[in-house]
Structure formats: structure tokens, C-alpha cells
Amino acid sequence: MNVLIVEDERSLSHEMEIYLTRQNFNCDVAFNGKIASEKIADNSYDFVLLDLGLPDTDGLELLKAAKKSGKESAFIILTARGEVEDKIAGLDMGADDYIAKPFSLAELQSRMQAILRRKHGLKSNTVSIHDFSIDIQNRTVQCKGNNVVLTKKEFDLLHYLALHKNRVLTRMQLTEHIWGDVLEDDYESNYIDVHVKNLRKKLSAHGSIDWLETVRGVGYRVNA
């Protein structure tokens, strides 16, 4: 999962980056609206953590522009502002949540997980794909009660495909979301194919994986 932290208070942005990286998120940081706008335009983020009080622009204007351009990122507004009007304006523009400073980093992660569940129609932190059960929070996979041991990247790949089940994901989409920023010229490398091959080998040792489909010339799909 890719996260953009838009926060001009460098100590806070650094704390968020360290914490979320330890929670297996890929993090980018922007200290002002100009850099944030460029990053949002050029990259695909699952979450944008957006401070409203940026030195060069109002965060609400950045949110408005991002939503107008069709970005699907989940936005969480982070701000010291407490006025009801600001909260309403941000939510009306498409923000997914609003958390006032100071806040707990653990609470921030819990809110991100809640947004993820709502976005993908999940009732819990578990995604079931036929005989396999994927625990998003604990990052474990089981099949018929047996643990399936995966590397970090293999789990990230399965997790992302499972969240977008029945949808074809291109190799470039998967690479961006699992490795973070990549050079456009590199997207045709076999990074994803090698990891899918290894993932298939480990999953098939526990059960049928007919649901993990290769879409020739495009990418992969989990058929639920």
C-alpha cells in the first residue's frame, strides 16, 4: 500500500513515515502543496494523509483538485484546525476521514484500516478466497487451518490482488503498489511474474489455486 504524507511539520511527518513503514506501507513525503500536487499527479496512492495548513496552499484546495482529476486515493485530513466548517468542507469535497492533532499513530493506522474495509466492502480484517483466508491486520494466510508462509512482497501481492478480486490488475499497477515509485521504463520487467510464480508454488502446496488467473499480455486477476 502506497501512502503520501503531506505535512510541513517535519518532525511529525518523519514520525508518521517511520511508523507506517514499519507497518509495511510504502511512504512518500511532501512538505508543501506544490510537491504534493506533483506527486499526486504522477503516482498512484492508496492513502493521502493531508495537512490543511500547508505553507504555500490550503490543503482543501489540493484535495479539491485531486478529486476533480479523478484520483481514487483515500484522503485523511490531518490538522490542528478544529472548526466544524473545515471538517464539513473537507468531507463534502471527498475526504474519507478527519483526525485532529495531536493524534495517536496507532489510531491513524486503525482509521486507515477502517477506510480500507469500507472501500472494499469487508466486514472484518479477513479476506476469503475459496479455501484461503487472508488476515490483513496480522499479515497471515491460512488454508484449511494450515499456515501458508509467504515473504513480505508475496503477501503484499496476494493481499492487493484479493482486495481487487474479479478485476484485472496490470503488471505496472501491481509494481507501483507493491514496490512504490518505479521508473516507467522498468515496468515491463519480470518482477511481478517471478513473484506470482513463487506465490503460486507456495499456495498450491496447500490447495487449488485455479482462482489466480494470468490475463495474457495484461496482468493478473483473482476470481472470487
What pLDDT digit, counting tens, does each position of 84-133 carry?
Answer: 777 788 888 889 999 988 899 999 999 999 998 888 888 888 999 999 99
Interatomic CA distance for residues 221 and 20, integer angstroms: 27
Q: What is the pLDDT of residue 31?
A: 96
Give tens-digit pLDDT for 122-161: 888 899 999 999 998 889 999 999 999 999 999 999 999 9
pTM of this prediction?
0.81
Confidence of residue 173 (pLDDT cuts 50, 70, 90): confident
What domains, with CATH codes, occur in the chain? Answer: 2-119 (3.40.50.2300), 126-222 (1.10.10.10)
Q: What is the pLDDT of residues 37-76, one digit of tens each?
A: 999 998 889 999 999 889 999 889 999 999 888 888 999 9
Environment class of residue 155 by beta-carbon count within 10 Å: exposed (0-12), middle (13-18) or buried (19+)? Answer: buried
| Segment (H or E) for 112 | helix 105-119
